[in-house]
Amino acid sequence: MTNRRAPNHRLRALLTEAGWTQEALARAVNALGAEIGAALRYDRTAVAHWLSGTQPRHPVPYLAAEALARRIGRQVTPQAAGFAPLPRGIGGAEPGCGLGEQVTGFADPVTGFAALCRSDADARRRLPLHQRPYQVADAAVPGPPKRPEPARPLGARTDETTALHDAVAFFAASIDTHGGRHARSALCAYLADDVTPLLAAHQPQRVRAELLVLASRLAFLLARMYEDGQLHGVAQRYYTFAHRLADESGDRTSWSVVLRAMSAQAQRLGHLPSALQLAEAAHEGVRRAPAAHQAYVQAQLAVVLGLSGDRRGALAALGRAERAAQRASSAAAPFDSYPAAALHFQTSAVLEALGDLPGALGALRRAAGERAPGDVRGRALSQARLGQLLLRTGHLDEACAAWDGFLAGRERLRSGDAERALREMRQALRPYRNRKRAAELLARTAHGR
């Protein structure tokens, strides 16, 4: 007797609820693939096969479920979409780290964070974790920190906290100098092997609070690395645990800094309502924070308000960011400073969103020119963005000069954001391929050089 596949009635019902054609679902799955660094080329015929009962390969069931969830506005699991459960062992054996689990499933953030790090450090379980998509439902605004702010400033120094401070400085500098794809596995292994055991050990209260803040910062940095590598789902999970560890420490400033980063990730992926809610929550949390942290948070709020069409709110938030930056100390340590060049970059984004292209160009020029010598990534991405804006305003030769500087920096980087900027540069220059400067840049980068 011939085995016949059962039609996927659940998927068909969800397509009807979403008001989507088969082609629309295929396009959405392809777009989600880009969020995890996968170049997918599905079309309506693939979806027709899924509807007939064919099971697509991992991670497509998760991408399809997330695409439908975003469209419908409620959570959709792969099983709810009619796909078979993931085979045992795929996605990691650790509870809360498999692809069918929510990373927030652990009541204790330390236990959940340790499980995530162990799965990520294991080469056999890493790939499915990296293929999990960004989930809009997980970008919800959390409540206020559950613990009171410490009565005294953090700063309990032991051999362990000193080592973690040094690690934060090292990995933060590595991202700036070499890009997010450099030393990523080293940070993951360090968290799994060295940091999470410290969090699980008995510690005096002030030392434990310090360790939690430092672990939150390291999780934040690993999230940045994954975000720079275009692996947005796993980046979101590390941001989630960075937030939960900061919450556990009781440090409201660290809590707000992570929310700001989560807002920026939601913004870059086009989820403006989530980005705005997260930015506003971060804003509420930094009212009594040091000036540098206030500037960092207000600058992101300004960008999202600008993109949302709130001109008055965006300019007010930008003004608060600029005034806070003027009050900030000259400290250069990561997480305790907000470089002027970074604020200029955000200012350019605000002004561009509001239609002030000359102002945006001026801010971008300052952002590119004032980057610290070691901030190769920041300078390269500023120059790439400057090239785009110059071309948009009709200055081809100046744009090519900016992109020339971008390419010089890109050669030193292992950065997904830099690779994306390269693709965008080539796409922007193709209509000008008969112009000398444009032709030279296109030839120079013909093979991804």
Q: What is the pLDDT of residues 134-163, one digit of tens each?
A: 999 888 877 776 665 554 455 668 899 999
What is the domain-level CATH number for residue 41? Answer: 1.10.260
21 falls within a domain: yes
* Strongest mean pLDDT among 36-50, 94-108, 328-342, 431-445: 431-445
pLDDT category at 5 given cuts 50, 70, 90 is confident
Tokens 């999202």 found at:
304
> In terms of Cα–Cα distance, which of 331, 250, 335 is closest to 285?
250
> How open is the CA angle 275-277-283, to the nearest 5 degrees?
100
Q: Which domain holds residue 57?
A: 1-85
Residue 240 in any domain: the answer is: no
Per the structure, the count of domains in the chain is 2
Which of these three, 85, 113, 133, is where a domain ends? Answer: 85
pLDDT at 189: 97
Domain finish residue from 42, 61, 85: 85
Does some domain include residue 175? Answer: no
Report d(CA 235, CA 229) in Å as an integer.
9
Residue 137 has a pLDDT of: 87
Whether 285 is covered by a domain: the verdict is no
Name the percent of the chain in helix, strand, coil, to the closest 5. 65, 0, 35
Q: Is residue 79 part of a domain?
A: yes
Single out the residue in 85, 115, 142 at which a domain terminates: 85
**430, 414 Cβ separation under 8 angstroms:** no
Per-residue pLDDT of 231-243, as tens digits, reads 999 999 999 999 9
Asked if residue 55 belongs to a domain, the reply is yes
pLDDT at 80 over 90: yes
Lowest pLDDT segment from 128-142, 212-226, 374-388: 128-142
| Domain membership flag for residue 377 | yes
Please check the confidence at residue 330 and state whether its pLDDT lies above 50.
yes
pLDDT given at position 18? 93
Structure tokens at 87: 């085979």
* H-run or E-run covering 383: helix 376-392
- pLDDT over threshold 50, residue 63: yes
69-83, 371-385, 430-444: least confident range:
69-83
Question: 307-318 pLDDT, tens per residue?
Answer: 999 999 999 999
Please give the pLDDT value at position 87: 58
Is residue 427 situated within a structural domain?
A: yes
| Residue 40 pLDDT class (50, 70, 90 cuts) | very high
pLDDT in tens, 199-212: 999 999 999 999 99
Q: How far does Cα 185 stand from its chain's mean position? A: 17
